[in-house]
Structure formats: C-alpha cells, structure tokens
Amino acid sequence: MTHSFVGFRRYLDQFYRLTDSEFEQFTADFFLKNIQAKQKLVREGEIEENIYFIAKGILRKYFHRGKEQIVTGFYKENDICLSANSYFSLKPSSTTIETIEPTICVGINKSDLEKLMNQLSLAEKIFLGILSSLYVKKDAEQINNLRYSKKERFLLLCEKQPDLLQRVPQKQLASYLEITPETFCRMKRFRYDQAKEARQTAIVYSK
C-alpha cells in the first residue's frame, strides 16, 4: 500500500473502520494522480466527474470576474476536493481548482463510485459521512465570512491555518480574505509586531 493510500485509509477510519479486505475492495477503482505546481485539476467551464482526496500538497479554488481571479478557498492534506456544482449536476464547473504545490491526489470517477456503492453497502455509509462533513465545514465557513470582519477573518486564519501563510502567495490569501495585498501585508506586519512585543515582555517578566 502506498503512503498516499495509507493516509486515505486513516481519513476513512473516521467514518468506518474497514478491514484490509474491505479497504482493498473499496479502493479497487481509485487512482493516484501526481500533479506539478500551477496545474489545473478542475477547469472552469468544463464538466468534472471526479472526486479527490488530497494526500499531499495544496490547491486553490477560484473563479474569474473579468480578468481578475477571485479565490474562494483552499484544499490541502486530508481534504476532499471536488467541484460540487459540476460533480452533482453534470454541468460545467463554475470554478477552477489549481495546484499551488506539487500535489498527490487519490481520486475516483463518479460512475465508478456509484458502481462501488451498489456493490458494497458500507461504501454508501462512508460517502454519506464524507458529504456530511463537507456540508458542516462549508456551513461553518459561510457563517464565519458573515460573522467576522476582514481583520477577524485574517486573525482566525493565522490561528487555525498558520501553514497557509507559508505555503500560499500573499496575493491569493488577500483575494480569499477579500482585502488588497497591501492591507494583507499591513495586517501581517501588525501581527508580527504584536507577537514580537509579547515575546519581549515575557522575557522581561521572566528575569
């Protein structure tokens, strides 16, 4: 079993603990996909019938507003990645999903997944669990976008996903937060200065 499928199995364990034979049967029609950085996994305007588990790497989802690319989210290790509107309705995707880093995915085609659910009853249970977790995550993101100010969203991103600050270009993070790159830089600098001041204060009090 490759490392990518080991990670996929750990992900599935949260929904159902498969035996070795069940896992082998479950993943029989899944495939590995290796993609270099800055390559499109899903293209806006094309029908996408695959669903992916991200074993390694990071991707961004965006759509075009004129010539501008509007980033709506990111996918990274242990995330499920798909163009939901295209996958479920078989209509052209409204977004593009593009790699930021070299990425390894474990994927399956919609028709193969439907066949799997007909052949293996627990596959439907697992897939419903995956869909439920995706809905909960999406719902939380939408609420946060409405509840918090742009500055609060920036601080929340720093707290919950600090790795994005190192792995994603600032321009793309700024687009996601709906702020200008200049504002993003000011927020990042302010947070850095605050952290530096806190460390210096802690050193003084420790003496």
The two tokens of residue 102 are 């070299």
Assess whether 36 and 137 both reside in one domain.
yes
What is the 3-class SS of 105-150, one letter each residue? EEEEEHHHHHHHHHHCHHHHHHHHHHHHHHHHHHHHHHHHHHHCCH
Give the distance between the most distant pair of CA atoms in the chain: 67
- Cα 156 to chain centroid distance, Å, stands at 16
Going 112 to 116 to 117 to 122, the CA torsion angle's sign is negative
Q: Is residue 159 domain-shared with residue 134, that is, in the same domain? A: no
Is residue 126 domain-shared with residue 203, that is, in the same domain?
no
Count of structural domains within the chain: 2
Judgement on whether residues 128 and 196 belong to the same structural domain of the protein: no
Domain ranges, residue 43 = 3-147
108 & 25 share domain: yes
| First and final C-alpha spacing in the chain | 53
Q: Along the 207 residues of the chain, how does pLDDT read in single tens digits? A: 678 899 999 999 999 999 999 999 999 999 999 999 999 999 999 999 999 999 999 999 999 999 999 999 999 999 999 999 999 999 999 999 999 999 999 999 999 999 999 999 899 999 999 999 999 999 999 998 899 999 999 999 999 999 999 999 999 999 999 999 999 999 988 887 675 555 555 554 555
Q: What phi and psi values does residue 107 have, to the nearest 5 degrees?
A: -130, 165
